Amino acid sequence: MPHALTPLRIHTVRKDQSAPAEVLDADICVVGAGIAGLSAALEGAKLGRRVVLVDALPVLGGQCVNSLIGLFCGIYGNAGEYRQLTHGVFDELFRDLEQTGDIHFNRTHTQTVSYDEVATGRWFERKVQDSGIQVVLGASVLSVERDGARIVSASFHSRHGRIDVRANSFVDATGDAALTWEAGFDCRLPERTVWGSQQIRLEGLRQEHAPDPDTLVARVEEKGEQYGLVRRDGLAFFFPGRGTAVMNMTHVEAPLEAVPASRAQLEGRDQADRVVDFLRTEFPAAFGDASVRLYGFPGRRQTRWISSEHELTADEVRTGHRFEDAVARTAWPIELHDRIEGYVWEKFGPDHVHYVPLRSMIPRGSDNLLAVGRCVDGDAAALSSVRVMGPCAAMGYAAAHVFDMAPEVAPRDVDLGELGERLYANVSS
């Protein structure tokens, strides 16, 4: 039976303009809750550190979950051994998602992993809750207080008001180097746009009738102009047995200003709709009944990144240069999306591995800040090969260990021998 109506008093209030900000204290403040930031935060908590995790989105997962990337890339080496190059968070994540049937392993020149973004997002949410990490969602960097080379605190603004986080160490996992930028350290910008994507998940598909990748690209090249497609290639990431696929067939701008970024998001969805029209018409056996289940948040590949103590170069990627301070590795191709119609795809051989040094994660002039993920330092081609999820997670894992080893010591001065022992599974195994 319904409950009887009881009095509910209403109060009239007005904001107290002198009210102080909410203040949080931590050993490590991680800004950005994508795969790199989540890896840093979870490992930091596992090491017993007090962690605050902040993200501008109202949900955890960053692009990994919310931009519908579709594949975990860069975790495994190339054929024929397909050696696992990054461990840490992936070991437990893959074990659990395999049990529920929410991932699928794909082997071509390398091994990628298709995943259900909803199941993956909930997995991360539960892990963060269980870890005791303090989480602040929907909060963007407002300002940074520095004492010389050290960040003392970072202020964030959310719909709930201002939050000040005081911490001994900071991790910039924002993807756009937003924390580094607001702290006043040097950053890098590419001379021309590196295009992002508007991913969509389609349902109602018949995978058995799907065109092979070469046929799909050939048809896009032939008829893309007719459908108003700006990108003249593309990929379909099917999840076997579910009649769904993530489509990666758009190129959208990724501005760093509010109004252009919002406009780009809307224009990206228009592009995605034209892709769906193309697929339904040109490949009706596979896509004739397709409908959009979900539009992802805009995917951004390379926008703004840090200026560090070492700029990783394309030559170091191609030669697999092994750094003394290596913290992450991958075999992923150079994959530079600097042309609207397509992208550079430079694959490596079966034994190839390349590395990310700790110095490429240290913003020049900083003493207690590390960048992880796609905003570490490299030339455009090098960065395009290490910004995928495998090495990004390894960088986050490494940042947690650097700050755990010597919280009062600048990252550049940590004992590299001890660090190498801690990171052995991700750099030497």
pLDDT of residue 3: 85
Residue 161 has pLDDT above 80, yes or no: yes
C-alpha–C-alpha distance, residues 213 and 86, integer Å? 28
Contact (CB, 8 A) for 310 and 359: yes
Residue 94 has pLDDT above 80, yes or no: yes
C-alpha–C-alpha distance, residues 134 and 127, integer Å? 12
Residue 343 has pLDDT above 90, yes or no: yes
Average pLDDT, the chain: 97
Q: Classify domain 22-191+303-427 at the CATH topology level.
A: FAD/NAD(P)-binding domain (3.50.50)
pLDDT of residue 380: 98
Average pLDDT estimate for 3-16: 92
pLDDT of residue 75: 98
- DSSP-derived secondary structure letter, 340: T
Residue 235 has pLDDT above 90, yes or no: yes
- Per domain, the residue ranges of the chain are 22-191+303-427, 200-295
Average pLDDT estimate for 372-390: 98
Residue 1 has pLDDT above 80, yes or no: no
Model confidence band, residue 204 (pLDDT cutoffs 50, 70, 90)? very high
Average pLDDT estimate for 196-208: 97
Contact (CB, 8 A) for 183 and 275: no
Residue 17 has pLDDT above 90, yes or no: no
Contact (CB, 8 A) for 142 and 159: no
Q: How many CA atoms lie within 13 A of 422 on its CB side?
A: 22
Per-residue model confidence as pLDDT tens digits over 99-122: 999 999 999 999 999 999 999 999
Model confidence band, residue 20 (pLDDT cutoffs 50, 70, 90)? confident
Instruction: With CA atoms as reference, report the closest residue to 89 among 29, 46, 138, 129.
Output: 46
pLDDT of residue 19: 84
Average pLDDT estimate for 80-96: 97
* Token pair for 311: 């700029």
Instruction: With CA atoms as reference, report the closest residue to 334 among 267, 393, 370, 385.
Output: 385
- H or E element in which residue 97 lies: helix 89-100
Average pLDDT estimate for 7-23: 92
pLDDT of residue 194: 97
pLDDT of residue 406: 87
| Assessment of whether the complete model's pTM goes beyond 0.85 | yes
Average pLDDT estimate for 285-298: 97
Average pLDDT estimate for 137-154: 98
Number of residues that this document lists for the chain: 429
Who's near 211: CB < 8 A, 6+ residues apart? 219, 283, 286
- H or E element in which residue 256 lies: none
Q: Per residue in 1-16, is it b (16+ CB within 10 Å) or e — as a string?
A: eeeeeeeeeeeeeeee
Model confidence band, residue 429 (pLDDT cutoffs 50, 70, 90)? confident
